[in-house]
Amino acid sequence: MPAQKKLLIALFALLAVFLIGTLGYYLIEEKASFYDAAYMTIITISTVGFSEQWKLSEPARLWTSIVIIFGILVVTLAFASLQAMIVGGELRSVLGRRKLKDRIAKLKGHYIICGYGRMGGLIARDLRAEDNKVVVVDCDEKRTALVDEAGFDYVLGDASNEETLQEAGIDRSAGLVTVLCSDADNVIVTLTARGLREKMPIIARAENLNSEPKLKRAGATKVICPQAIGAMRAVSLLARPAVARLVDITMGGEEWEIDELVVQPGSRLEGRTLRDLNLREKAKAMVVAIHSADGQTSINPGPDHEVRVKDVMVVLGPSGATRALAD
């Protein structure tokens, strides 16, 4: 039995001894008030040696002996359980989980990753590399120990349960990725997450291509099939190596990157044309595409294209150029 559970049992037993002892004194001694009976029980259990509240009768002395015996046994058990928790690290673990819950409760705009396998670990690592907050959800205690070692916040539980996703802060998150081993599990998680948040990006992994329509019907914004992506990557490396190399350079983000910039209200970009911004000269960057708020996409927009609020600009340029434009 875990030391934490033993401690709880000992504390309940101690409370029971106190209540029964108090009631016994109150019933045995007619002149004792309930307060006097409670005080007598406390000094008896603690064995502090204070003077008695009144001259005890023979039945009261016998009752005192019984209370002392059971009181010492229960107190000893409680201290032993507490010591086991401290030595075994359970107390530190309990306090750590409480701090973890408090930390997650304060997060906003983070990403939830359901499943910490090979793919989930890579996603968490890459999101953190781009200064994003991550909360991992996994039902395996061994895997959550690895999550903790990697420095990520986590929730130990079933991602298909609403309570687990709520504990992970789904109502305040920026998006969710489900990369569990089973397509059926990913469908259930997607359904649950979509039920909790009607408008939220949900990315789901599909092991089989046939599962993609099911995941989309369940509410997935995008579905990723590793086999299909691997096949496309192989074709690009064989048939279009120069394009593949450009993608590698920009996705690495060390010298050049492709990033997106959302135009916020009051931004210096608002209401200006690409000609006025002159990004090529000022930041050595170029706008590859602009996704407008009404759903329209302009590929390779011309110099007279006017930038509006909530436009999403896809920018190709030196690493960090997009952040510089947002400032």
CATH 1.10.287.70 range(s) for the chain read: 3-88
pLDDT above 80 (res 152): yes
Residue among 186, 190, 177, 238 at smallest CA distance from 207: 186
Two structure tokens written together for 238? 């064989």
Q: How far apart are CA 209 and CA 57, in angstroms?
A: 84
User: What confidence score (pLDDT) does residue 161 get?
Assistant: 95
User: What confidence score (pLDDT) does residue 247 get?
Assistant: 78
pLDDT, average across residues 164-185? 95
Residue among 11, 12, 43 at smallest CA distance from 25: 43
pLDDT above 70 (res 4): no
pLDDT above 60 (res 37): yes
* Average pLDDT of the residues of the chain: 84
- Asked if 113 and 137 count as a contact pair (C-beta separation under 8 A), the reply is yes
> What are phi and psi for residue 249, nearest 5 degrees?
-65, -45
Three-state SS for 201? coil
Q: How far apart are CA 224 and CA 244, in angstroms?
A: 19
DSSP letters along 102-171, please? HHHHT--S-EEEE--SHHHHHHHHHHHHTT--EEEEES-HHHHHHHHHHT-EEEES-TTSHHHHHHTTGG
Fold of 241-326: Alpha-Beta Plaits (3.30.70)
CATH 3.40.50.720 range(s) for the chain read: 107-229
Q: What is the pLDDT of residues 234-273, one digit of tens each?
A: 998 899 888 888 778 777 666 788 888 888 888 888 888 9
Superfamily of domain 107-229: NAD(P)-binding Rossmann-like Domain (3.40.50.720)
User: What confidence score (pLDDT) does residue 248 get?
Assistant: 80
- Asked if 47 and 74 count as a contact pair (C-beta separation under 8 A), the reply is no
Pairing of strands 175-178, 111-114: parallel
Q: How far apart are CA 283 and CA 279, in angstroms?
A: 5
Two structure tokens written together for 41? 């029980």
Q: Which long-range contacts (CB under 8 A, 24 or more apart) does 263-268 make?
A: 263/307, 263/308, 263/309, 263/310, 263/311, 263/312, 263/313, 264/309, 265/309, 267/309, 267/326
Q: What is the pLDDT of residues 46-72, one digit of tens each?
A: 766 555 555 677 787 788 788 888 878
Q: What is the pLDDT of residues 205-239, one digit of tens each?
A: 999 889 999 999 999 999 999 888 888 889 988 99
pLDDT band at 171 (very low <50, low <70, confident <90, very high): very high
Please name the residues in contact with 326: beta carbons below 8 A apart, sequence gap of 6 or more. Answer: 261, 267
Please name the residues in contact with 181: beta carbons below 8 A apart, sequence gap of 6 or more. Answer: 115, 117, 207
| Residue with more model confidence, 84 or 138 | 138
User: What confidence score (pLDDT) does residue 84 get?
Assistant: 64
pLDDT band at 201 (very low <50, low <70, confident <90, very high): very high
Q: How far apart are CA 51 and CA 83, in angstroms?
A: 31
CATH 3.30.70.1450 range(s) for the chain read: 241-326
Q: What is the pLDDT of residues 126-142, one digit of tens each?
A: 999 888 999 999 999 89
| Residue with more model confidence, 11 or 103 | 103
Q: What is the pLDDT of residues 279-311, one digit of tens each?
A: 888 788 888 899 998 888 999 899 899 999 999
User: What confidence score (pLDDT) does residue 254 get?
Assistant: 67
| Residue with more model confidence, 21 or 275 | 275
Three-state SS for 253? coil
pLDDT band at 183 (very low <50, low <70, confident <90, very high): very high
User: What confidence score (pLDDT) does residue 57 get?
Assistant: 74
pLDDT band at 7 (very low <50, low <70, confident <90, very high): low
By percentage, how much of the chain surpasses pLDDT 70?
89
Q: Name the architecture of domain 3-88.
A: Orthogonal Bundle (1.10)
